[in-house]
């Protein structure tokens, strides 16, 4: 059986070459994984010494060469593993190659881990070169993962061939032995060649004549030696199988380490993607300033007339056209920090809240305090976000300065999956960090249970890098604990988060308290209308998180979103935030930039045509199966969402 080896060397070299060209175009930039020396500029006093490559570049180049060398060894091992004949097999060479490749993989895995540490030391803050380093790390991890997977496949094929060979050998030995015993001559009887007819042994001194030089005893001895040799060989092959199985087990550990490293890189990239929202904020702010400047210039008719008089002879007609084209009535806007929706508990929940998920550490307190001073009254928190202490510091300062009173706020928190068998303890932890005596709304963050005695308080992992999840746990049991909280006075209302229609239909028949809220990812590219309709029917309020999808995602360029934004002269982000108000949903806007926090207070009052365009767009994506979910942690659990089931 041929073994297909996925050689991505060409792809790796292409990416490295592209990175070299990109860095070479920047003055003073370091060359990436390059081997040619820079030449000195003409007139600079002779050729300059080539700049030294960074420690990261040198180590990455060594790892790349190591992976290529290991792939060559693996190809040779694959050729040896394909041999099925006993005569072609070379177990000594196979075992040596297996040991060498296994050592190479362990060494390369450790080198990549060290290289990751080098990158973090050289670039503690995000920059362009740091991003390139992360991409190279991911590429090296991917190539090493491919080599490890191919190595595992080769060893499995080798094991199958050895087992098949053992079966054929045992069958052969058994058949030969039976035939040999059947072909042995009968024991000697009375014969004139012996001393007396009645004895089977010759008389003393009688002449002995042998008509069968390979007598029965010799045949039996030869067969016995052959069988012992075969048994020794089979035992040797069995030991080889055990060694291969042990190697495969060690490879599983390497895969687990690689999976953990890739998971860390993925979480880091996700955080970087979230932080780029601030860059978008700054760009949009600059765009607004330019629009204001243009508005002031366009309002100066004398300046416009002079400009067009110099450039064109028909300035009057163009000026009139420009005047009629650019002057229109402004779109009505309203401050959403004062708008509320009713809950099934009799409480009122603000239509707009500040989200704190993935907010950069060290910036949460300032953002929350600014939001409170700007009029925000809903703050969305969670124990899992690991920043409730910063939120608590902002609340304490706001209370002390008289910015707001506790009873004027609507604070939301969530019980995390490691506390879903200890819900009240999870609530106590959040209250302690927030520095308040109660929350206005407490939610089940995700309907699952992670090992409460695992190796991490928030994200326990198994040895193979997967999440340590108790799959036998019933989410209805979580809600039974939640129903005890309102009586304690520590949570005025309770609800759920990330609940699908299927999970709600499983929960509601057993609930004595109907959830007040279901917090879900919601935007035009993921309307989740089946959940929204069920919640509306049962009196469950929808709270939408990730209303923009993802920073720079497809929603910002979606045709109806762009058309509505141009119609009202606003950024697409404002259209996406405003989408939820006519749907009767609370929307969470996340930002740590003061200007953006202020801007998000004033949402559009979308008219009927705007709502129709967005609803038609959402319905079309749902009908064509093109909805996009941007938040779905790797739990390995089917939560019942149609786009993920």
Distance separating alpha carbons of residues 609 and 335, to the nearest angstrom? 21
Among the listed residues 316, 314, 388, the one whose alpha carbon sits nearest the alpha carbon of residue 357: 388
Contact at 8 Å (CB) between 260 and 456? Answer: no
- Residues contacting 611, CB < 8 A, separation 6+: 582
Contact at 8 Å (CB) between 490 and 427? Answer: yes
Cβ atoms < 10 Å from Cβ of 201: 10
> Which neighbouring-strand residues pair with 349?
341
Could you say which residues of the chain have pLDDT below 70? 1-14, 16, 18-53, 83-89, 168-230, 233, 237-238, 245-246, 248-335, 551-552, 645
Q: Are strands 348-350 and 340-342 parallel, antiparallel or unpaired?
A: antiparallel
Contact at 8 Å (CB) between 415 and 427? Answer: yes
Longest dimension (CA), the chain: 149
- Show which residues are catalytic: 385
Task: Provide DSSP, 477-536.
Answer: HHHHHHTTSGGGTSBS-EEEES--HHHHHHHGGG-SS--SEEEEE-BTTB--HHHHHHHH
Distance separating alpha carbons of residues 267 and 373, to the nearest angstrom? 32
pLDDT of res. 394: 98
pLDDT of res. 117: 85
What domains can be seen in the chain, in order of their start residue? 9-33+54-179+222-280 (1.20.58.70), 288-326 (no CATH), 340-552+583-593 (3.20.20.100)
Q: What pTM was estimated for this model as a whole? A: 0.54
Distance separating alpha carbons of residues 351 and 340, to the nearest angstrom? 5
Cα 226 off chain centre by: 57
Contact at 8 Å (CB) between 410 and 350? Answer: yes
Among the listed residues 169, 147, 160, the one whose alpha carbon sits nearest the alpha carbon of residue 244: 160
Contact at 8 Å (CB) between 386 and 458? Answer: yes
Contact at 8 Å (CB) between 589 and 547? Answer: yes
Helix (H) or strand (E) holding 587: strand 586-590
Q: Write the secondary structure of 373-397 as one string of H (helix), E (strand) and C (coil).
A: HHCCCEEECCHHHCCHHHHHHHHHH
List C-alpha distances in Å: 186 to 189, 202, 216, 349, 386.
Answer: 9, 17, 9, 103, 89
Distance separating alpha carbons of residues 395 and 373, to the nearest angstrom? 11
Torsion of CA 364, 413, 276, 140, to 10 degrees: 110
Cα 620 off chain centre by: 28
Tokens representing residue 154 in the block: 């080769």
pLDDT of res. 169: 65
List C-alpha distances in Å: 590 to 168, 358, 407, 515.
Answer: 67, 9, 23, 24
pLDDT of res. 585: 98
> Which neighbouring-strand residues pair with 10?
none
Residue showing tokens 């496949």: 153
Phi, psi of 410 (to 5 degrees): -125, 100
pLDDT of res. 77: 84
Q: How many CA atoms lie within 13 A of 220 on its CB side?
A: 7
Contact at 8 Å (CB) between 55 and 82? Answer: no
Among the listed residues 396, 390, 391, the one whose alpha carbon sits nearest the alpha carbon of residue 411: 391
The DSSP output letter for 457 is S
pLDDT of res. 210: 41
SS3 602: strand
Contact at 8 Å (CB) between 368 and 396? Answer: no
Helix (H) or strand (E) holding 541: strand 541-545
Among the listed residues 530, 523, 641, the one whose alpha carbon sits nearest the alpha carbon of residue 587: 523
Q: Count the residues in the chain.
A: 645
Let me know the angle formed at the C-alpha of 401 by 399 and 402, rounded to the nearest 5 degrees. Answer: 65
Phi, psi of 468 (to 5 degrees): -85, 90
- Residues contacting 452, CB < 8 A, separation 6+: 418, 419, 421, 422
Phi, psi of 253 (to 5 degrees): -65, -40
């Amino acid at each position: 059986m041929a073994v297909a080896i996925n050689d991505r060397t060409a792809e790796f070299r292409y990416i490295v070459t592209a990175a070299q060209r990109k860095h070479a175009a920047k003055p003073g930039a370091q060359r990436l994984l390059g081997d040619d020396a820079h030449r000195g500029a003409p007139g600079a006093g002779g050729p300059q010494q080539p700049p030294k490559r960074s420690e990261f570049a040198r180590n990455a180049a060594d790892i790349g060469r190591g992976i290529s060398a290991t792939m060559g060894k693996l190809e040779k091992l694959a050729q040896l593993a394909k041999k099925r004949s006993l005569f072609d097999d070379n177990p000594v060479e196979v075992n040596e190659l297996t040991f060498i490749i296994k050592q190479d993989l362990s060494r390369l895995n450790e080198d990549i881990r060290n290289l990751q540490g080098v990158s973090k030391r050289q670039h503690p803050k995000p920059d362009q070169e740091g991003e390139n380093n992360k991409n190279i790390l991911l590429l090296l991890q991917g190539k090493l993962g491919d080599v490890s997977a191919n190595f595992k496949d080769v060893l499995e094929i080798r094991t199958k061939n050895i087992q098949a060979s053992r079966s054929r050998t045992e069958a052969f030995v058994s058949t030969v032995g039976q035939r040999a015993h059947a072909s042995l001559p009968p024991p000697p009887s009375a014969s004139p060649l012996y001393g007396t007819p009645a004895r089977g042994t010759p008389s003393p001194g009688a002449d002995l004549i042998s008509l069968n030089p390979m007598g029965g005893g010799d045949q039996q001895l030869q067969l016995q030696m052959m069988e012992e040799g075969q048994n020794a060989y089979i035992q040797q092959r069995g030991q080889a199988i055990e060694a291969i199985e042990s190697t495969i087990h060690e490879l599983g550990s390497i895969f687990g380490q690689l999976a953990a490293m890739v998971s860390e890189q993925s979480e880091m990239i996700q955080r970087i993607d979230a932080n780029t929202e601030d860059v978008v904020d700054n760009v949009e702010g600059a765009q607004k300033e330019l629009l204001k400047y243009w508005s002031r210039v366009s309002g100066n008719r004398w300046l416009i007339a002079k400009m067009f008089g110099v450039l064109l002879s028909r300035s009057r007609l163009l000026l009139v056209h420009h005047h009629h084209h650019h002057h229109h009535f402004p779109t009505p806007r309203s401050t959403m920090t004062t708008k509320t929706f009713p809950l099934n508990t009799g409480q009122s929940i603000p239509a707009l809240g500040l989200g704190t998920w993935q907010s950069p550490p060290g910036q949460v307190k300032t953002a929350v305090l600014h939001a409170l001073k700007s009029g925000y009254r809903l703050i969305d928190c969670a124990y899992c976000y690991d920043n409730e202490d910063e939120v608590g510091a902002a609340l304490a300062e706001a209370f002390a300065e008289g910015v707001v009173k506790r009873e004027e706020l609507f604070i939301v928190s969530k019980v995390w999956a490691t506390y879903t068998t200890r819900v009240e303890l999870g609530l106590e932890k959040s209250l302690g960090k927030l520095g308040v005596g109660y929350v206005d709304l407490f939610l089940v963050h995700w309907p699952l249970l992670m090992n409460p005695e695992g190796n991490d308080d928030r994200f326990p992992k198994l040895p193979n890098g997967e999440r340590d999840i108790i799959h036998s746990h019933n989410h209805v049991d979580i809600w039974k604990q939640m129903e005890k909280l309102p009586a304690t006075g520590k949570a005025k209302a309770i609800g759920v988060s990330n609940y699908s229609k299927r999970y709600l239909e499983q929960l509601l028949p057993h609930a004595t308290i109907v959830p007040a809220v279901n917090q879900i990812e919601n935007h035009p590219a993921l309307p989740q209308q089946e959940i929204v309709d069920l919640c509306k029917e049962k009196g469950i309020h929808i709270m939408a998180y990730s209303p923009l999808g993802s920073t720079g995602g497809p929603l910002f360029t979606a045709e109806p979103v762009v058309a509505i934004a141009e119609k009202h002269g606003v950024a697409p982000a404002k259209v996406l935030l405003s989408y939820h108000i006519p749907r009767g949903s609370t929307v969470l806007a996340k930002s740590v930039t003061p200007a953006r926090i202020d801007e998000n207070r004033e949402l559009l009052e979308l008219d009927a045509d705007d709502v129709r365009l967005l609803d038609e767009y959402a319905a079309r994506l749902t009908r064509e199966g093109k909805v996009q979910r941007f938040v779905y942690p790797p739990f390995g659990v089917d939560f019942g969402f149609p786009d993920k089931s």
